[in-house]
Amino acid sequence: MALARRVAYVSILNLGSRMAHGVQVMKNAQAWAGAVSDFEFITRVTPQARLGLDPEALARLYGLQRRFAITAYPLAAPHPRLEPFWPNGIFHRLAARRCARRGVDLVYTRANLTPPASLALGLPTVVETHSPPGDEPEKRALYAVLRHPQLKAIVTISPDLARRYAEHGLPAEKILVAPDGVDLAAFAHDPGREAARARLGLPTDRPLAMYVGHLYDGRGVEDILEAARRLPGVNFVLVGGHAPDVERWRARAGALGLANLRLTGFVDNTLVPLHLWAADLLLMPYGSGCPTAAWMSPLKMFEYMAAARPILASDLPAIREILDHGRTAWLTPPDSGEALALGVQAMLADPARAGEMATAARAKVEDYSWDRRVANILDFVAGRP
């Protein structure tokens, strides 16, 4: 098909969500808005969220630097527990009809129920997936249209997911692997460690190891606490997390007497670069039991790379798809606070080598901008009949 110029991104994101999913979706939407001449983001929200939509607040929350058109239908479940009982099909049919009326060249979505609705109206459609095949009703609806001629592609975030969908019956020629990415413009003005720490009120008298992201089980938070216990001369800062998770880990840290560990709680994505720039080391100690360990493509990994600070990460296959041990990061065995502490010591003891790895990671991440990702998807779709 010809290169798409009029694109709609159909989402089920409830605007205002603090989940990483929200950042990924909105950063992608921003990149789509910059790549095509006519773009609209269509989503569903709760009635309360629709009344409180504030463009400036959304820009801070998701770190957006470009405005784009948003249409929000007040059709989301008022509480996550009600989601399984909510009539989701109404939203997807309404969104598809809006796309048809506007004459879009392409519908892009991460919602499995959108393709059946958009394809029924003959609209070229691309679906992005971050999870493996399963037996959920939404997945079954997607499987029914996998071979539809107007389903132009399924975008997966890792080779592992691509393999799984090919084994599930998706034509291999429709699969595009597109790892997550980063908004490079957000990382254009590094003020330096000392200035970043001064703006954040962080001490400058000790090395600082930083983690940014949610604090769920499987993210290696317990390993960070153990590393902090073993390295009292290093400050550890954990940025992000829902309030209950922050309090749970704060209590654990207090029980261990960790005066060198601080949990900040959630910050808007706009503030993430400043926190990363304040660090000597950036930590990504995913555990082997992380539910998405086999196929993940973490947003934080690309933001860490863009910040040009040395990265210490778990040695997992999905991480090795992007990071090379000793070249762009230092990889340690997962599920070990001792190994993490040894890695921190090794990196701090050889700042020249750590700096070389950070520089190499920064150069490599140029290939993983959201803008380039969208351009690759457009080229892939244009090459489809």
Task: For the chain, list residues with pLDDT below 70.
Answer: 50-52
Which residues are CB-neighbours of 193 under 8 A, at least 6 positions away?
Answer: 204, 208, 277, 278, 279, 280
Q: How far apart are CA 356 and CA 358, in angstroms?
A: 5
pLDDT reported for residue 53: 75
One fold for 6-181+369-382 and 186-367: yes
Tell me the three state secondary structure of residue 371.
helix
Length of the chain: 385
Q: How far apart are CA 186 and CA 317, in angstroms?
A: 28
For the whole prediction, is pTM greater than 0.85?
yes
* Sequence spans of domains, the chain: 6-181+369-382, 186-367
pLDDT reported for residue 126: 97
Q: How far is CA 104 from the centre of its chain?
A: 26
pLDDT in tens, 44-87: 988 777 656 788 999 999 999 988 999 999 888 777 777 777 77
pLDDT reported for residue 212: 97
Tokens 């999870």 appear where? 131
Which residues are CB-neighbours of 63 under 8 A, at least 6 positions away?
Answer: 23, 27, 183, 186, 268, 269, 270, 272
pLDDT reported for residue 76: 81
pLDDT reported for residue 51: 57
Domain 6-181+369-382 sits in which CATH superfamily? Glycogen Phosphorylase B; (3.40.50.2000)
pLDDT reported for residue 52: 63
The DSSP symbol for 244 reads: H
186-367 folds as Rossmann fold (3.40.50)
Task: Count Cβ atoms within 10 A of the Cβ of residue 262 and give its class: 0-12 exposed, 13-18 middle, 19 or more buried.
Answer: middle
pLDDT reported for residue 291: 87
Read off the amino acid at residue 1. Answer: M
